Structure 1
Amino acid sequence: MSRLITLLLLYRSGYIVGKYISIEKLIEKTKETYYEVLQESSVNWHEGANSYEPFVKYYLGVILNAYREFSSRVKLLTTSGLSKPDRIRETIKETLGKITIAEIMQKCPDISHVTIQRTLVDLRKKGEIIKISGGRYTSYVWNREDE
């Protein structure tokens, strides 16, 4: 309930990124850290000597992450002249760390699964991306060795 109220307060203060990027999903991805900072912020609460700083810093980081993700999506959608394979390429290139097909589909909802798979095969053949693992846990990273 507190996260829902926080989201409402953010909207009322002009921080509308939560309408486009799920802040709840970002918290879910980092739920271990979320519970750690909640615990850290509650130490000595009964004595009135706790510090909310760890939680505030964490939550501000989540909001900043949401704006970065939103900015990244808008940048890709508004970049004129890029073909769908080029947008997939740029999505992977702009991602720090690994990315899955599901995440690519989330960032590029107008591109079909088949087009994404075809583009991934082409990018692997060219050596631009590296496939990590296989099967259900397959992910890809941009090959930064040639940069």
Structure 2
Amino acid sequence: MIALSNMSRLQVSTETLLLFIRVYESKGKEFFYDELFNKDKDVFLKKTIESNVFYIGKLLNMPLTDARLKLIAKKKLVAKNKAETLMINIKHALSSIQKFPKDFELFPNEFDNLARMLSKDNEPIKFRVTEGKPDGTLFSSKKTISLKEHLELLIKEYNTQQKTKQYELLQLITNFYIDYVNASVFSSHNELIAYIILYAFLLRDFNVFKYVSFFEYFYKQQEQYKLALNQANYYYNTGYPNTDLLSKFIMDILNNAYDHVNDFAREYSFEKKLNKSDNIEATIRNGKEIFSKEDIRLAHPTVSLITIDRTLKRLKDEGLIQPLGKGRSSKWQRIDESKRQNGRQLDIFQFTD
């Protein structure tokens, strides 16, 4: 509890203050996003879960190919090995958080239940035990102590600091996270559990992650995370861990996520007024010459696969595109206007013998 119990050491720089202001200004638009995206909320839910599962697998360096990770993220599969069993359990955990973000509460049982979910049909994850002297005196007898008790004290300290209302929420979360990571309360997968708890914390209070993948941003900025974690841990045992970089890391993710959703909201509002098939056609006409159906799906996440397939067939029949290969990994090629004319139309005044 070194970080949480020394919250008074924190000093907020001008740069950090500006980042906080930007985050909370963006957070103020969440009601607008919820109303705008309400019709397609199930589409966003499915897409975000899939992306989170894939990128947390990448973050953990799971011994699985990208193709296999994507299949686990998208479909119900029977696990072939322990790594796949763990990924399926992770998917269940992330799905629960994504579907019921406001239900997360900071109780030891939440951690215990998460550990049980992750260890289903796999190696059990249990609270570690250690030997110590409960009263700390020289002549008292040693006793086996479960680190669940340490977690309870850590949660109690978090709640105490929160009640003072002296500290900003993200700073509280950051300092709790550092204390939790250093405690290593479970027998295994402490890093994984820390990631998921951090995500549950953030999704509960910042619903931007209902629409974009938290772990995609985390994975792409993991070098910044490693640097921030090393800085915090370097001074941890002195009682004054420097958590500034970790707070900035979380705020950077939040600001990038809000920027993405804000840009997408403008496009989404425009799309609602257009025919979806016409909008897909515009993307193809103005996009890459060679593309895949997955590229179209990513550009139009709220459009059904049926609509995408129908549009591709129509454009093929019209001679705008042509398939390159067959199967799931096949691609499409846009046919330039000049080539279409040369291949399909004669000059009406062409002289022939």
TM bucket by the smaller chain?
0.5 to 0.7
User: What residue number does 2:236 align with?
Assistant: 45
Count residues with an aligned counterpart: 114
1:33 pairs with one of 209, 220, 224: 224
Confirm whether residue 62 of structure 1 aligns to residue 253 of structure 2.
Answer: yes
2:279 pairs with one of 67, 79, 83: 83
User: What residue number does 2:84 align with?
Assistant: none
Shift of 1:25: 1.3
The structure-2 alpha-carbon separation of the partners of 1:44 and 1:70, relative to structure 1 and needing over 3 Å to count, comes to same
d(CA) in 1 for partners of 2:262 and 2:333? 23
Which amino acid is 2:242 matched to?
S
d(CA) in 2 for partners of 1:32 and 1:43? 17
d(CA) in 1 for partners of 2:255 and 2:284? 23
d(CA) in 1 for partners of 2:232 and 2:210? 28
* Deviation string, structure 1 residues 60-112 (Cα, Å, up to 9, x no partner): 1001111122222222222133732445688x7xxxxxxx9656632313274
Confirm whether residue 8 of structure 1 aligns to residue 200 of structure 2.
Answer: yes
The structure-2 alpha-carbon separation of the partners of 1:39 and 1:88, relative to structure 1 and needing over 3 Å to count, comes to farther
Confirm whether residue 71 of structure 1 aligns to residue 267 of structure 2.
Answer: no
d(CA) in 1 for partners of 2:200 and 2:242? 24
The structure-2 alpha-carbon separation of the partners of 1:121 and 1:33, relative to structure 1 and needing over 3 Å to count, comes to farther
- Report if aligned partners of 1:17, 1:70 keep a CA contact under 8 Å in 2: yes
- Report if aligned partners of 1:43, 1:50 keep a CA contact under 8 Å in 2: yes
User: What residue number does 1:22 align with?
Assistant: 213
CA-based RMSD of the aligned residues comes to 3.3
- Report if aligned partners of 1:76, 1:87 keep a CA contact under 8 Å in 2: no
Which amino acid is 1:83 matched to?
N
Which amino acid is 2:216 matched to?
K
User: What residue number does 1:142 align with?
Assistant: none
User: What residue number does 2:298 align with?
Assistant: 106
* Structure of larger gyration radius: 2
d(CA) in 2 for partners of 1:83 and 1:8? 35
Shift of 1:59: 0.8
Length-normalised TM-score, structure 1: 0.59
Shift of 1:49: 2.5
User: What residue number does 1:143 align with?
Assistant: none
- Report if aligned partners of 1:73, 1:107 keep a CA contact under 8 Å in 2: no
Higher deviation after alignment, 71-80 or 50-59? 71-80
d(CA) in 1 for partners of 2:238 and 2:201? 28
Q: Report percent identity of matched pairs.
A: 18
Gaps in structure 1 of 5+ consecutive residues: 93-99, 127-147
d(CA) in 1 for partners of 2:231 and 2:295? 31
SS where residue 49 of structure 1 aligns? coil
The structure-2 alpha-carbon separation of the partners of 1:64 and 1:11, relative to structure 1 and needing over 3 Å to count, comes to same
* Deviation string, structure 1 residues 38-71 (Cα, Å, up to 9, x no partner): 1122221111122100010011100111112222
